[in-house]
Amino acid sequence: MFENAVVLPSYGMTECMPIATPPLTYNLEKPGTSGVSVGPEIVIKDEVFNTLPPMKFGRIMIRGPPEAFTKNGFFDTGDMGYLDNDGYLFITSRSKEVINRGGEIISPTEVEDAVLKHPKVLTAIAFSVPHDVLQETVGIVIVSRDPTCRIGLICWCYSSWPQLVVHMTDLPKNKTGKPLRIKLAERMELGSIHDGMAPGERCFEADCPPNGTPLTVSITCRPTHDADLCGHHQFATSEKTGKLEPLPRTQMSTTELYVLSAFQTVLDINNPPHILDDFFEIGGSSLTAAKIVSLVRAKYGIKMSPMTLFKCRTAKALATIVDSQATATSVSMAPTLDKKLSVTRCESPVRPLALMIQSLSVLFLQPLPIILFWLVYLRVMAGMNIILQETSHVTVFKLLVGYGLTSIVTYLCYPMLGIVIKWLIIGRYRAGKYPLWSAYYLRWWFVDQTLNFFGPGIFNATLRTQCFYLRLMGAQISSNVKFDGGTVFREFDLIRVDSGTSITSSIVRGFTIDSGIMILAPIIIGKDSVVNFDSTISPGAILPPDTVLPPRSSSHEITDSSQKHRLFASSGGPSPTIWSMITFGIPIVFLVEFIGSLPWILWLLWSVQCVMQSELSNLSSINQVVQNFFEMRRVVLLFFVLMSLRSVMSPWFKLGASIFVKQILLGPFVPGQKLSSEWHAVKQWIMKQLFGDGTLCGTYSLLGRHYESISMIYCMLGAKVGQRIYWPGIPIGFYAFDLLEVGNDVVFGSRSKLVFSDAVESRRIVIGAGCMIADRCIILPGVIVGKNAMIGSGSLLFKNGYYPPESTWIGSKGGEAVLLEEGDCVATKKEDTLKPFGKAFYYRDAPYRVFSELEIIITNMVWVCVTSCIWSMVPLIGVVVAVTTYTGDYWFSSLTWISREAVMQIMFVLTTFAASYIVTFVTLFTVIMAKWGFIGRRKPGSYDWDKSDYCQRWQLFITLQNIQGDILNNIRGSFFLVAYFRALGSKIGQRVCLYPTGGDPMVPEPDLCIIGNDTVIDRASVVAHVNSRGLFGLNLLKIGDGCVLRTDSRLLSGGEMENESKLLEHTLIVGGEVVHSGSVMQGWPAHEIEGND
């Protein structure tokens, strides 16, 4: 009746009546479509109900008056599909039937359509098969036209191609004859497959059950090895066997062939992958991706970021990018350097003058502040003994008041001493280039060390006094300039800051380094500019007026300047008035500090009453004071116990008082418009004084840094914190605890910052379960990080930003984090958030004995006591020897030209110097021995918490390492620091200058770091470990001859710098990336730039 008629599909539901049908103008140009809407609004949404653009696969939802099925009026049809650019609807499957392969949503009908193109296939049905890593992958049931023929299918292929095949004589169906794919893998008891299975192990045959067989009835299934599952992607029919044979490869360009070869070489796979293979689906990682890009850059002489491969994930896509950028093809795949290095020849760091001057930091400057403090303290005590009559309570009062007065005196005098030394030794800093370890470098180095030891002291009291200090040092600081205590200024004469400028916790130095030389250059920061927190202003920088740098940036990224970043300047919020500070703020902080001091004050009072039994007399001289208070038994009972109480007990008393003040007196922080009231300003100031450093009043290190007890304290302070959090080794400095919400199993890297308010408002920060917040991240107000998101090193998460589940981000460009990989909301719902750390530490699921949290806390407390007592021994040894000298009968006792009191003071000074040297040597030797005893020589590899005890041993070593205090900073930029790292196993060449202005951290894994000749590293991170989503690994780091790593640059695990390469300020080299010879890199993540500075 209807010969040659065309039957068109339409789409409707009993609940909704007609939904879509082809229009009258339809000319069969869109095969498979169900047409366009006949009334209801049709949208495609993802799993969290975000509307998807055309050609994106997702849930089909409809909306129309008057019914409303969701809060937005949409009804979920339960079908999956997509809309094309013309609004035509394509239905692919039911939502319950889709296959979620590692977060990739695969329509089974699309797989079936591809398989059915084979002439030997009669019919087929795709279904979900369990996978040990991806959770689900694609399986296929095939019915051959020839029952004796077994058709093999490819296994190394596009992600949506079947990885398992089952042969049947017919498809499982229900009573009405509809094929059933639901529970097929479960019914056939296929189990979970993995990528290590051979192709033949993924081929089965099964008996087809009768139509209408319940889904609870098993299907008999058995392996078969008749099929030939080849390792190619394209297939054709063999006339003899009916198997799928590889098609001849299409003609590929030279670039495509090279990229495929690089894929095969780096991934170490036997057969070349297909040109359309996803690099990360065939075994790629961030480390290997960086290696691929490095090879391509070297081969074609182009500038390409390692992030490119995250966007262009196939060989074809990457080759297209390469062809569009290629400028040369003659460079070999692995270039070698035969040319002579062009580094500037520096002076020798081991020449006697350099060694002598750079040893003064430890031999003279390190003990000098201690000696001056104690000499002043004893003089103050002697003066007070003349005034006050001695009783036990008066004795305690004198000790405390004497300590306070001495602190005030040194607080006033130390900065003046630094100012005098600066002007006497170096005068005005002169712009220019100077060889390392030359006379000028050594003068600069000694002055810089002196300023670190003595600091600004009393000048830190207010912003005005800070500006006055900088002007005394030679800086040009205009009026109305604002900066906080975290900002570092040096090389003062080279710095000019114009009026209205705001600088927050940044580095402003006229000093930098190049191979063999140090460079001094002026810095000008224009009027009304803003340098946001954690930024670096490099020498020679000129910031025009009204420049506003984003957080965690540098003067090299001035193009990222935007007025929107002004919200986060330190000038955004009101400061409390002097009156409110005096009447409320300062008394509360003082009371908390006093409560924190109670343990050692009470001990001091008891020891004076019960231990000092000798007759107390009018002690009017230093000799009498020393002799009375520093007998050996009093030293042991009084000072060592006092230091132990001060370091271990006082933090808990202070924390308890601080929690009371926060919860009872100050109240919670609430989101909303920023208040300008005086009460709010005082509240902010008090909380910053109590918790601003992030150490939780000193308890953070006592608790081991990473564990549940830290979470408990945050909860007591108002934060919402989940379980099994891995807190960072360096605490996060914040105090608006009520505005933080952290899910389970979150991993934090060190040196990150949480910002809850700006000049306008305060907002919550929500970090979803299973997230990774890497090191040096900035999270601004209102940020929401989805479940299992990966926030990579140095990421800047902008205000009110949403970072979807499973997404991956890194660094910043234009003031916002760079997206590497989009998240998958569907996959993340099924994924577990438990990390290897949680498995090992909280569930004891590890092949070694895991320390309990109590054991860790006890170990940390004991070692904090030991560290505190060892360094307090330095002046005490000097005092005890001085007392012995005074009371003993020695040859100099009969001398008439010098008083016994003067002899005692000289012996105190000399002995304290000697004690300082001994303690320095003992602590460094202890760290070196502990490294080889607890760690041994590190080797590259994987060391997850639940598989290896390395992380536990490393944490114990880090605790022991704290005994060395700040010694490494005292030998920075000298041969002594190089010798120390060589003792820890590092391979370091000649004339290497390490961290002349300091480092945080300084080469955590020195035995995995190879540094060539004439290389300079200054305040840069050279880190061989990687902690990605809780997976911990170690990789080699190679730095060639004549390389430069400047302030705030970072070389990640597995990275390599070839000879004469350079990283400018604020530069990230991702793991596995190779910086080629002569390249100059800048940015986070890095890109190659022209020029040297």
Is 1021 a domain residue? Answer: yes
**Secondary structure (DSSP) of 970-1001:** HTTTSHHHHHHHHHTT-EE-SS-EE-TT--SS
In a shared domain, residues 102 and 85: no
Is 186 a domain residue? Answer: yes
Note the helical H segments in 717-765: none
In a shared domain, residues 295 and 381: no
Closest CA to 226 of 261, 200, 244: 200
Q: Identify how many contiguous H helices and E strands the chain contains and give both numbers.
A: 27, 61
In a shared domain, residues 49 and 131: no
Is 879 a domain residue? Answer: yes
Amino acid symbol at 431: A
pLDDT, residue 212, reads 81
Amino acid symbol at 254: T
Under 8 Å between Cβ of 658 and 592:
yes
In a shared domain, residues 219 and 113: yes
Task: Write out the two tokens for 871.
Answer: 């360094």
In a shared domain, residues 132 and 217: yes
Distance (Å, whole) CA 985 – CA 368: 32
**HSE-up (13 A, CA, CB side) for residue 97:** 21
Closest CA to 530 of 551, 503, 560, 498: 503
Is 676 a domain residue? Answer: no
Closest CA to 481 of 550, 565, 562, 569: 569
**Cis peptide preceding 352, ω within 30 of 0:** no
In a shared domain, residues 117 and 183: yes
Those residues whose C-beta lies under 8 Å from the C-beta of residue 952, and which sit 6 or more positions away, are 848, 850, 851, 945
In a shared domain, residues 115 and 170: yes
- The CATH number that applies at residue 14 is 2.30.38.10
Name all contacts of 114-120 with Cβ < 8 Å and 24+ positions apart.
114/161, 115/140, 115/142, 115/153, 115/162, 118/151, 118/235, 118/237, 118/244, 119/145, 119/237, 120/144, 120/145, 120/146, 120/149, 120/151, 120/237, 120/242
In a shared domain, residues 934 and 1047: yes
Closest CA to 1066 of 458, 490, 560: 560
- The CATH number that applies at residue 286 is 1.10.1200.10
In a shared domain, residues 1043 and 922: yes
Under 8 Å between Cβ of 266 and 285:
no
Distance (Å, whole) CA 846 – CA 951: 12
Domain count for the chain, please give it. Answer: 6
Distance (Å, whole) CA 259 – CA 265: 10
Q: How do residues 599-652 score in pLDDT, each as one tens digit?
A: 888 887 776 665 544 444 444 455 555 555 555 556 666 677 888 888 999 999
Structural domain containing residue 896: 856-1088
Distance (Å, whole) CA 890 – CA 1012: 55
- The CATH number that applies at residue 191 is 3.30.300.30
Amino acid symbol at 432: G
Is 615 a domain residue? Answer: no
Q: Which residue has the tokens 């005893």?
A: 933
Which residue numbers in the chain have pLDDT < 50?
A: 66-68, 70, 154-159, 226-250, 328-342, 388, 571-572, 612-620
Task: Write out the two tokens for 584.
Answer: 């409320």
Is 647 a domain residue? Answer: no
Q: How do residues 438-473 score in pLDDT, each as one tens digit?
A: 999 999 999 999 999 998 989 988 889 999 999 999
In a shared domain, residues 119 and 243: yes
Under 8 Å between Cβ of 1032 and 1014:
no
Is 976 a domain residue? Answer: yes
Q: What share of the chain is helix, strand, coil (3-state, %, to 5)?
A: 35, 20, 45
In a shared domain, residues 231 and 265: no
Q: Positive or negative CA dihedral for 257, 259, 260, 262?
A: positive
Is 113 a domain residue? Answer: yes
Which helix H or strand E contains 900, and what residues bound it? helix 900-930
Distance (Å, whole) CA 270 – CA 273: 9
Note the helical H segments in 747-835: 825-830
Those residues whose C-beta lies under 8 Å from the C-beta of residue 63, and which sit 6 or more positions away, are 40, 41, 43, 72, 73, 74, 75
Distance (Å, whole) CA 611 – CA 603: 11
pLDDT, residue 62, reads 84
Distance (Å, whole) CA 346 – CA 516: 5
- The CATH number that applies at residue 493 is 2.160.10
489 alpha carbon, distance to own chain's centre: 25
pLDDT, residue 681, reads 87
Closest CA to 1062 of 1027, 1025, 1014, 1028: 1014
| Of 37, 64, 94, the domain-final residue | 94
| Of 212, 230, 248, the domain-final residue | 248
**Cα distances (angstroms) measured from residue 1079 to each of 302, 706, 1069:** 11, 39, 12
462 alpha carbon, distance to own chain's centre: 33
Closest CA to 394 of 641, 123, 605: 605
Distance (Å, whole) CA 872 – CA 509: 34
| Of 94, 125, 149, the domain-final residue | 94
Amino acid symbol at 888: G
pLDDT, residue 626, reads 54
In a shared domain, residues 235 and 304: no
pLDDT, residue 229, reads 37
